[in-house]
């Protein structure tokens, strides 16, 4: 299908000024003749932004371009109004936890965070206080004095996260930050992301775990084969797709057959199926708003008893399936 890709500024919080955004202007990156990303135009406001796409779709390339680890072949980008050729300013604004599971040899968790704060230019006392604060936020205080080489995968992820946010950046970029974390740590880290985003930070997260991206993201950017195939708030992206992929709604109610007879009269309803247990109706419609109006009407006129109304394909997983497909093939 043609991906719904309206101009981002029209979708993603137009009230936020450009100097509070991460902006890609027609950015392309080629590795020789191999495409990294192509013609990416994005304008990312504060909040949690999920980058979603199969392996090789360009998520890491996009993140590396933001921080200047890669140079764009074409186009320009800026972070809160600062371009990547001004490192003294840029890297006070950005913290980046990369996918690389590598650390300077021989360091403890504390030394790792502290040493790079000193490279930022902070003094000893400031660095010490900021190091402990960051380590505390990721729950590694007890392990701070141990060598990073002896950490578990989850602990290494958390110390990288601490290092990325220790200097209190405005934009936090995290490449697969939930990899290797146990369920408890995942919940804590997700809660931390929410807390940071609520404080006005940009938190840009890539993940292949769609359920988690859906859970934490205020907006998503879907990538496939180096192209942005969709972006915006997930509900907005889903609404744009209604014509080609009708919305599915499951209504748990006491008289599904009555509801089925009423919805079949509507042009926008393409399918209505009574649930296997006989206590619900699954409706596919090209106009969800009209359907919800009708549902209200049926409740008022016929006294229909409703238990739940649940959209079943309005999450990032469904959007991903429709746009990219389970194998990463764009449909």
Partner 1 sequence: MSEIVTQSVSVRPSTGNLPWRLWAKQILAVLRLELRKSFLGRRALALYLLALAPVFILLLRVLLGGVNDAGDTAEATTIFSAVYQGFLLRMVIFLGCVAIFGNLVRREVLDRTLHYYFLTPLRREVLVGAKYLTGLIVATVLFGLSTLVSFILAYLPHEGVQTFLFQGPGLGHLASYLLITALACLGYGAVFLFFGFFFKSPAIPALMVFGWEGIHFLLPPMLKKVSVIHYLQSLLPVPMSEGPLAILADAPSPWIAIPGLIVLAAVLVTVSAMKIRRMEISYEEE
Binding mask 96-135 for partner 1 (x = CB under 8 A): x-x-x-xxxxx--------xx-xxxxxx--x---x-----
Segment 146 to 165, residues that bind partner 1, using CB under 8 A? 163
Q: Which is nearer to partner 1, 170 or 266 (CB)?
A: 170
Least Å distance, CB 46 to partner 1, is 6
Q: Which is nearer to partner 1, 15 or 33 (CB)?
A: 15
Task: Tell me whether strands 202-206 and 269-274 are parallel, antiparallel or unpaired.
Answer: unpaired
Q: Is 42 helix (H, G, I), strand (E, B) or coil?
A: strand
CA pair distance 7, 179, nearest whole angstrom: 32
Q: Site for partner 1 (CB under 8 A): which residue of 53, 58, 68, 226?
A: 68
Q: Which is nearer to partner 1, 126 or 242 (CB)?
A: 126
Q: Label residue 168 left, alpha or beta by phi (over 0 means left) and psi (-120 to 50 means alpha).
A: left
Q: Site for partner 1 (CB under 8 A): which residue of 11, 67, 205, 216?
A: 67
Q: Which is nearer to partner 1, 80 or 178 (CB)?
A: 80
Binding mask 173-212 for partner 1 (x = CB under 8 A): -------------------------xxxx-----------
Q: Is 130 helix (H, G, I), strand (E, B) or coil?
A: helix
How many Cα atoms are found within 13 Å in the side-chain-facing hemisphere of 321?
A: 10
Those residues with Cβ within 8 angstroms of residue 172's Cβ, 6 or more apart along the chain or in another chain:
94, 95, 96, 97, 164, 165, 196, 201, 202, 203, 204
**DSSP structure class, residue 18:** G
Q: Is 210 helix (H, G, I), strand (E, B) or coil?
A: helix
Q: Which is nearer to partner 1, 46 or 256 (CB)?
A: 46
How far is the first Cα of the chain from the last one, in angstroms, to the nearest whole number? 6
CA pair distance 233, 24, nearest whole angstrom: 18
Q: Which is nearer to partner 1, 106 or 183 (CB)?
A: 106
Indicate whether 142 belongs to the interface with partner 1 (CB under 8 A). no
Supply 41's token pair.
């135009």
Least Å distance, CB 88 to partner 1, is 5
Return the closest-CA partner of residue 288 out of 313, 308, 307.
313
Least Å distance, CB 71 to partner 1, is 6
Least Å distance, CB 11 to partner 1, is 14
Q: Site for partner 1 (CB under 8 A): which residue of 3, 27, 70, 247?
A: 70
Least Å distance, CB 211 to partner 1, is 26
Q: Which is nearer to partner 1, 75 or 311 (CB)?
A: 75
**DSSP structure class, residue 149:** G
Q: Site for partner 1 (CB under 8 A): which residue of 69, 141, 149, 310?
A: 69
Q: What angle do CA 233, 18, 75 make, to 5 degrees?
A: 90
Segment 271 to 330, residues that bind partner 1, using CB under 8 A? none
Report in angstroms the alpha-carbon separations of 147 from 45, 108, 182: 37, 4, 21
Indicate whether 20 belongs to the interface with partner 1 (CB under 8 A). yes
Task: Give the count of beta carbons closer than 10 Å to the beta carbon of residue 231.
Answer: 27
Q: Which is nearer to partner 1, 50 or 95 (CB)?
A: 95
CA pair distance 97, 86, nearest whole angstrom: 20
Residues at the contact surface with partner 1, assessed by CB under 8 A: 13, 15-16, 20, 31, 45-46, 64, 67-71, 87-96, 98, 100, 102-106, 115-116, 118-123, 126, 130, 163, 167-170, 198-201
């Amino acid at each position: 299908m043609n991906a719904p890709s309206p101009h981002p500024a029209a979708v993603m919080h137009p009230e936020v000024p450009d100097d509070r955004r991460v902006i890609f202007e027609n950015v392309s990156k080629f590795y020789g003749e191999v495409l990294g990303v192509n013609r990416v135009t994005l304008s990312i406001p504060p909040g949690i932004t999920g980058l979603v796409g199969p392996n090789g779709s360009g998520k890491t390339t996009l993140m590396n371009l933001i921080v200047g680890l890669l140079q764009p072949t074409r186009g320009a980008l800026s972070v809160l109004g600062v371009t990547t050729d001004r490192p003294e300013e840029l890297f006070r604004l950005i913290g980046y936890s990369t996918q690389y599971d590598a650390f300077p040899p021989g360091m403890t968790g504390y030394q790792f965070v502290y040493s790079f704060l000193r490279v930022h230019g902070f003094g000893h006392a400031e660095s010490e206080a900021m190091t402990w604060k960051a380590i505390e936020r990721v729950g590694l205080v007890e392990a701070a004095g141990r060598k990073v080489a002896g950490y578990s995968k989850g602990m290494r992820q958390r110390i990288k996260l601490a290092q990325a946010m220790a200097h209190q950046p405005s934009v936090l970029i995290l490449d697969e930050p939930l990899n290797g974390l146990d369920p408890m740590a995942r919940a804590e880290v997700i809660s931390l992301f929410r807390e940071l985003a609520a404080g006005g930070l940009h938190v840009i997260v890539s993940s292949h775990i769609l359920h988690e991206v859906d859970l934490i993201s205020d907006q998503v950017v879907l990538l496939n084969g180096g192209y942005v195939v969709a972006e915006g708030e997930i509900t907005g992206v889903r609404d744009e797709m209604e014509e080609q992929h009708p919305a599915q709604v499951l209504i748990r109610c006491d008289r599904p057959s009555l509801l089925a007879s009423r919805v079949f009269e509507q042009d926008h309803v393409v399918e209505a199926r009574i649930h296997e247990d006989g206590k619900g109706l699954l409706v596919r419609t090209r106009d969800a708003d009209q359907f919800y109006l009708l549902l209200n009407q049926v409740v008022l006129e016929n006294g229909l008893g409703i238990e739940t109304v649940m959209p079943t394909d309005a999450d990032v997983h469904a959007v991903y399936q429709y746009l990219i497909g389970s194998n990463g093939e764009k449909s």
